């Protein structure tokens, strides 16, 4: 898990990065312990299975309801925000989203941006875009700040710097922050970071934040956080720009409540986060503080492709808690950077194909044992294994095949050779006669079983068929010779 | 768990699964013996092969459908279908009906068959309410590994624990991260061999820390863990739960 370039990596690099991540045993053990710690913390917040399942049902229902009425709710959200003086912008692509924000900054003559945590801003690579145009962006979430200081990308959607040890951070601060010495004292490290950030909040022209739930009925943006940086980013600078994917809307305040309970418990194992910010527009006459202008940027970036498909739409139920990655045996072994996507882990594996196309992300849907740990903890019951299988099917589809809702990059994994192997396989297993022949050959010629069996024998001894198949044994039994 | 125990049948089908058929046939035979011990007649349709799971999970539903359709035709009597593998049972119970969305007639048959599918351990506990208190053998400590799909789709872990803890002289040891995947995942173990290898390495380590022998109701996991342990030169070996139970009932093992 070395330093990341700013841009997404290619599928070829996915495998390379996996090998790199797996080669470092010490790091792997540390990281896996961190995941186990997070699993235990989450479990401690859900002691009662009946209550848990009822709440998950509610969370799922709320999200499904929102998606079933998505266009209408987005229009309602826009109208209610506008009535409160919020300027609403729509972006189809990452470039459009960045350009909108750059235009706002230019018009205001803004040079300095302070950012609360926003995965959508990571998705559109906003920092990179603005820095290249002379606008300075500083991450104010401690994890994001660390990752930015190190020139990396987040490796987890809730804990961006989870891949770093305190020694890594001590060295980083010593190198990058003038006048700071090496210390492994976590409180001292956090104090250092906070001091740097505190000054910058006061200097910033624009504060940028994400959104956890956007409530259509009231025109409210709900933001959860633990550090207070989200509140500062959204209240101190003169301009606040919030960013969200179009799926984050919910119908009513009441609908947001179960999600607000599920999110911190699933994400960090907290009953509630330290801050709940409910933001309903810029400063009004008579207000003592708050931004003078407020904007919301709504991003599509492939989400409408998932929305258009009845099964894949469930991808958009996600509330970005990260529990799926904490519980994933693959994520726990390879870490977030290996995926090369903004959203790593199981949710990233089902979301990224819509954001980036299946061509660029074709190795992701297959990188799962389909163990189901993700779906078991998902607070809104996204059937992640089924969606992974569906994406595998779409990736395998013949590129030209006519389907009602083609996915970008459909057929990216199609190979005539593989298709023929599966045809051949099904031809054997669907035919009793051919399968009998296979059994006969496998058991009689078992000594000829190859010593090298593709990926299997990289980590295991070879498989050798038995001398007699179960079919043979049952046949012998039926003939009254059960002893054989 | 069922609130009311289903009626006790006197005849059942056995679906042996492709892995047991070719690699661990004695587990299939032991499943038959366990069922016969309870006074059941076991029917083994000789035209059976595979539930189609490898094609299904790797994104080849057409091929899975073709293989599943050939199996569905084999179970025309209204008897329960016992499967000595949780993941295959899960495939048959939960996924076979979804394969035939475009063919209502076949889907109705798939549903009928799916509704009669039982994983072996669950069948012994829930339907037959077996009594193994007379089993014997030397005192032994074993670990239990439950396949993820068996655990999540068929409740197999609970049944495995119930069966093993009822055996006199058998101590069941819980290993660290017991609920975590062994890394098999069918084609995943070939396609992403390094990730799969890292996961099974950790599983071998946590099982080895508590036992030399583990019992499982899934041959995929069993072969994965045992062959990985062998590759590492570790003594850890797996045994199918049917074989372990049969041997304890004979006073051996």
| Paired strand residues for B12 | B42
Residue A6: the pLDDT is 44
Q: Which residues of B touch A18 (CB under 8 A)?
A: 192, 194-195
A366 touches chain B (CB under 8 A): yes
Whole-angstrom distance, CA of residue A286 vs CA of residue B15: 76
Query: Does the beta-carbon distance from B189 to A455 stay under 8 Å?
Result: yes
Q: What value does the mean pLDDT take over residues B187-209?
A: 96
Residue A124 included in any domain: yes
Within a 10 A sphere around the Cβ of B99, how many other Cβ atoms?
23
Whole-angstrom distance, CA of residue B99 vs CA of residue B101: 6
Q: In which residue are the tokens 């599920």 written? A: A262
B158 touches chain A (CB under 8 A): no
* Structural contact between residues B49 and B249, judged by C-beta atoms closer than 8 angstroms: no
CB neighbours of A472 closer than 8 A, spacing ≥ 6? Answer: A439, A443, B25
- CA-derived radius of gyration, chain A: 26
Number of H helices, E strands in chain B: 14, 8
Q: pLDDT-derived band of residue A30, with 50, 70 and 90 as boundaries?
A: confident
Residue A403: the pLDDT is 87
Sheet holding A293-299, edge to edge: A86-91, A293-299, A239-245, A206-209, A112-115, A136-139
Interior/surface letters B185-199, b for 16+ CB within 10 angstroms, e for the rest: bbbbbebbbbbbbbb
Q: Which residues of A touch B202 (CB under 8 A)?
A: 32, 333
Number of A/B CB contacts below 8 angstroms equals 193
Residue B90: the pLDDT is 95
Query: Does the beta-carbon distance from A32 to B202 stay under 8 Å?
Result: yes
Whole-angstrom distance, CA of residue B78 vs CA of residue A155: 53
Residue B1: the pLDDT is 47
Q: pLDDT-derived band of residue A29, with 50, 70 and 90 as boundaries?
A: confident
- Is the model's pLDDT at A121 over the cut of 60? yes
* Structural contact between residues B12 and B81, judged by C-beta atoms closer than 8 angstroms: yes
Whole-angstrom distance, CA of residue A420 vs CA of residue B55: 12
Query: Does the beta-carbon distance from B194 to A471 stay under 8 Å?
Result: no
Angle at B155 between CA B149 and CA B160, to 5 degrees: 105
Residue A10: the pLDDT is 56
Residue B5: the pLDDT is 72
Domain extent listing, chain B:
11-127, 140-249
Kindly identify which residue of chain A lies nearest to residue B61, measuring between CA atoms: A393
Return the half-sphere exposure (C-beta side, CA atoms, 13 A cut-off) of residue A116: 28
Residue B150: the pLDDT is 86
Within a 10 A sphere around the Cβ of A53, how many other Cβ atoms?
12
Residue A398 included in any domain: no
Residue B149: the pLDDT is 86
Is residue B170 exposed (0-12), middle (13-18) or buried (19+ Cβ within 10 Å)? buried
Nearest neighbour of B188 by CB, restricted to A366, A463, A470: A366
Q: Which CATH architecture has domain B140-249?
A: 3-Layer(aba) Sandwich (3.40)
% of chain A at pLDDT higher than 90:
89
Query: Does the beta-carbon distance from A459 to B29 stay under 8 Å?
Result: no
Whole-angstrom distance, CA of residue A374 vs CA of residue A328: 6
Question: What's phi and psi for B100, nearest 5 deg?
Answer: -115, 40
Distance from CA of B137 to the nearest CA of A (A): 22
Q: Which residues of A touch B60 (CB under 8 A)?
A: 393, 396, 422, 426
Q: pLDDT-derived band of residue A23, with 50, 70 and 90 as boundaries?
A: confident
Whole-angstrom distance, CA of residue A98 vs CA of residue A112: 15
Quote the domain boundaries for residue A428: 416-478
Q: pLDDT-derived band of residue A12, with 50, 70 and 90 as boundaries?
A: low
Whole-angstrom distance, CA of residue A293 vs CA of residue A151: 31
Token digits for A239? 């301009």
Q: 50-69 in B: which are within 8 Å (CB) of A?
A: 50, 52, 54-64, 66-67, 69
Three-state SS string over A26-86 comes to HHHHHHHHHHHHHHHHHHHHCCCHHHHHHHHHHHHHHHHHHHHCHHHHHHHHHHHHHHCCE
Closest CA to A24 of A46, A45, A7, A1: A1
| A263: enclosing H helix or E strand | helix A253-267
A367 touches chain B (CB under 8 A): yes
Say yes or no: A282 and A422 in one domain: no
| B214 three-class SS | strand
Residue A280 included in any domain: yes
Q: Which residues of B touch A34 (CB under 8 A)?
A: none
pLDDT per residue over A298-344, tens digit each? 999 999 999 999 999 999 999 999 999 999 999 999 999 999 999 99
pLDDT per residue over B110-152, tens digit each? 999 999 999 999 999 999 999 999 999 999 999 999 999 888 9
pLDDT per residue over A401-427, tens digit each? 888 888 999 999 999 999 999 999 999
pLDDT per residue over A190-212, tens digit each? 999 999 999 899 999 999 999 99
Nearest neighbour of B29 by CB, restricted to A395, A426, A470: A470
Residue B16: the pLDDT is 97
Residue A5: the pLDDT is 41
Q: pLDDT-derived band of residue B156, with 50, 70 and 90 as boundaries?
A: confident
Distance (Å) of CA B235 to CA A458, B141, B209: 19, 14, 11
Q: pLDDT-derived band of residue B38, with 50, 70 and 90 as boundaries?
A: very high
Q: 189-248 in B: which are within 8 Å (CB) of A?
A: 189-202, 223-224, 227-228, 230-231
Whole-angstrom distance, CA of residue A238 vs CA of residue B118: 65
Distance from CA of B105 to the nearest CA of A (A): 19
- Is the model's pLDDT at A224 over the cut of 60? yes
B70 touches chain A (CB under 8 A): yes
**Best to test chain B binding among A459, A465, A476 (most B CBs inside 10 Å):** A459
Q: 410-429 in A: which are within 8 Å (CB) of B?
A: 413, 422-423, 425-426, 428-429
- Is the model's pLDDT at A2 over the cut of 50? no
Q: What value does the mean pLDDT take over residues B227-238?
A: 97
| Paired strand residues for A250 | A215
Distance (Å) of CA A312 to CA B34, B173, B188: 43, 41, 22
Query: Does the beta-carbon distance from A459 to B60 stay under 8 Å?
Result: no
Q: 46-105 in A: which are within 8 Å (CB) of B?
A: none
Residue A179 included in any domain: yes
Residue B253: the pLDDT is 54
Token digits for A77? 């959200």
Residue B3: the pLDDT is 54
Angle at B202 between CA B197 and CA B205, to 5 degrees: 125
* Structural contact between residues A93 and A271, judged by C-beta atoms closer than 8 angstroms: no
Residue A164 included in any domain: yes
Query: Does the beta-carbon distance from B192 to A466 stay under 8 Å?
Result: no
Question: Which of residues A484 and B142 earns the better pLDDT score?
Answer: B142
Of A296, A320, A352, the residue at which a domain comes to its end is A296
Assembly ipTM: 0.96
Q: What value does the mean pLDDT take over residues B207-227?
A: 96
Distance from CA of B161 to the nearest CA of A (A): 20
CB neighbours of B167 closer than 8 A, spacing ≥ 6? Answer: B132, B135, B245, B248
The rounded mean pLDDT for chain B is 95
Q: In which residue are the tokens 């909040």 written? A: A201
Q: What value does the mean pLDDT take over residues A172-189?
A: 96
% of chain A at pLDDT higher than 70:
97
How many domains does the structure of chain A reveal?
2
Q: pLDDT-derived band of residue A20, with 50, 70 and 90 as boundaries?
A: confident
The rounded mean pLDDT for chain A is 94
Nearest neighbour of A459 by CB, restricted to B177, B179, B231: B231
Whole-angstrom distance, CA of residue A370 vs CA of residue B186: 9
Q: What value does the mean pLDDT take over residues B59-87?
A: 97
Residue B214: the pLDDT is 97
Residue A234 included in any domain: yes
pLDDT per residue over A369-405, tens digit each? 999 999 999 999 999 999 999 999 999 998 778 888 8
Residue A106 included in any domain: yes
* Structural contact between residues A342 and A123, judged by C-beta atoms closer than 8 angstroms: yes
Token digits for A310? 């009845």
Residue B63: the pLDDT is 98
Distance from CA of B176 to the nearest CA of A (A): 11
Q: Which residues of A touch B181 (CB under 8 A)?
A: 329, 369, 371, 373
Kindly identify which residue of chain B lies nearest to residue A392, measuring between CA atoms: B59
Give the distance, in angstroms, between the CA of residue A189 and the centroid of all CA atoms in the same chain: 28
Query: Does the beta-carbon distance from B49 to A435 stay under 8 Å?
Result: yes
Residue A217 included in any domain: yes
- Is the model's pLDDT at A443 over the cut of 60? yes
Q: pLDDT-derived band of residue A9, with 50, 70 and 90 as boundaries?
A: low
Q: pLDDT-derived band of residue B7, with 50, 70 and 90 as boundaries?
A: confident
Q: Which residues of B touch A369 (CB under 8 A)?
A: 148, 181, 183-186, 188-189, 196, 199
Q: In which residue are the tokens 């090369």 written? A: A340
Q: In which residue are the tokens 């970071």 written? A: A193
| Paired strand residues for B108 | none
């Amino acid at each position: 898990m070395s330093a990341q370039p700013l841009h997404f990596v290619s599928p070829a690099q996915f495998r390379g990065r996996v090998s790199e991540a797996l080669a470092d045993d010490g790091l792997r053990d540390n990281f896996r312990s961190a995941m186990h710690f997070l699993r235990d913390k989450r479990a401690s917040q859900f002691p009662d299975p009946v209550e848990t399942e009822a709440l998950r049902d509610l969370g799922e229902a709320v999200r499904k309801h929102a998606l079933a009425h998505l266009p209408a709710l987005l229009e309602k959200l826009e109208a209610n925000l506008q009535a409160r003086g919020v300027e609403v912008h729509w972006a189809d692509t990452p470039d459009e989203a960045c350009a909108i924000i750059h235009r706002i900054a230019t018009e205001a003559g803004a040079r300095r941006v302070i950012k609360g945590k926003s995965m959508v801003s990571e998705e559109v690579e906003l920092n990179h875009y603005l820095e290249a145009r002379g606008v300075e962006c500083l991450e104010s979430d401690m994890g994001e700040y660390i990752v930015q200081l190190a020139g990396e990308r987040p490796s987890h959607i809730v804990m961006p710097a989870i891949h770093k040890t305190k020694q890594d951070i001590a060295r980083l601060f010593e190198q990058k922050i003038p006048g700071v010495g090496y210390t492994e004292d976590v409180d001292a490290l956090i104090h250092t970071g906070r001091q740097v950030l505190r000054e910058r909040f006061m200097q910033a022209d624009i504060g940028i934040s994400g959104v956890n739930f956007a409530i259509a009925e009231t025109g409210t943006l709900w933001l959860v956080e633990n550090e207070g940086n989200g509140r500062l980013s959204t209240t101190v600078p003169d301009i606040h720009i919030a960013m969200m994917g179009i799926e984050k809307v919910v119908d009513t305040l009441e609908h947001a409540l179960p999600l607000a309970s599920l999110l911190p418990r699933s994400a960090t194992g907290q009953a509630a986060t330290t801050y709940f910010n409910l933001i309903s527009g810029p400063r009004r006459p008579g207000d003592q503080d708050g931004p003078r202008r407020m904007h919301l940027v709504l991003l599509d970036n492939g989400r409408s492709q998932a929305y258009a498909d009845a099964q894949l739409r469930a991808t958009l139920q996600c509330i970005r808690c990260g529990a799926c990655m904490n519980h994933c045996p693959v994520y726990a072994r390879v870490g977030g950077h290996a995926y090369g996507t903004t959203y790593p882990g199981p949710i990233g594996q089902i979301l990224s194909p819509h954001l980036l196309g299946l061509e660029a992300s074709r190795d992701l849907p297959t990188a799962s044992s389909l163990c189901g740990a993700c779906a078991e903890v998902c607070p809104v019951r996204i059937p992640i294994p089924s969606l992974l299988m569906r994406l595998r099917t779409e990736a395998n589809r013949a590129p030209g095949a006519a389907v009602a809702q083609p996915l970008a990059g459909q057929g990216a994994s199609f190979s005539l050779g593989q298709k023929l192997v599966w045809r051949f396989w099904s031809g054997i297993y669907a035919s009793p006669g051919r399968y009998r022949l296979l059994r006969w050959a496998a058991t009689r010629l078992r000594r000829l079983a190859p010593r090298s069996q593709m990926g299997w024998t990289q980590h295991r001894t070879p498989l050798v068929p038995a001398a007699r198949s179960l079919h043979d044994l049952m046949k012998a039994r039926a003939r009254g010779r059960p002893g054989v | 768990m069922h609130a009311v125990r289903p009626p006790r049948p006197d005849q059942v089908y056995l679906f042996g699964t492709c892995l047991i058929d070719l690699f661990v046939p004695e587990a299939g035979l032991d499943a038959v013996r366990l069922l016969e011990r309870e006074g059941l007649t076991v029917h083994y349709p000789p035209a059976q092969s595979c539930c189609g799971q490898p094609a299904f999970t790797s994104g080849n539903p057409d091929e899975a459908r073709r293989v599943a359709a050939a199996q569905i035709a084999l179970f025309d009597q209204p008897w329960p279908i016992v499967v000595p593998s949780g993941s295959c049972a899960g495939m048959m119970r939960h996924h076979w009906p979804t394969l035939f969305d475009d063919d209502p007639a076949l889907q109705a048959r798939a549903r009928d068959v799916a509704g009669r599918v039982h994983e072996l351990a669950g069948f012994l506990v829930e339907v037959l309410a077996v009594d193994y208190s007379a089993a014997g053998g030397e005192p032994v400590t074993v670990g239990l590994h439950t396949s993820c799909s068996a655990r999540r789709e068929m409740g197999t872990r609970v049944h495995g624990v119930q069966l093993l803890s009822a055996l006199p002289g058998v101590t069941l040891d819980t290993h660290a991260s017991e609920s975590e995947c062994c890394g098999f995942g069918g084609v995943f173990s070939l396609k992403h061999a390094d990730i799969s290898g890292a996961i099974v390495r950790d599983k071998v380590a946590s099982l080895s820390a508590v036992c030399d022998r583990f019992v499982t109701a899934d041959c995929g996991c069993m072969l994965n863990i045992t062959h990985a342990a062998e590759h590492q030169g570790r003594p850890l070996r797996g045994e199918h739960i049917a074989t372990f139970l049969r041997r304890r009932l004979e006073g051996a093992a």
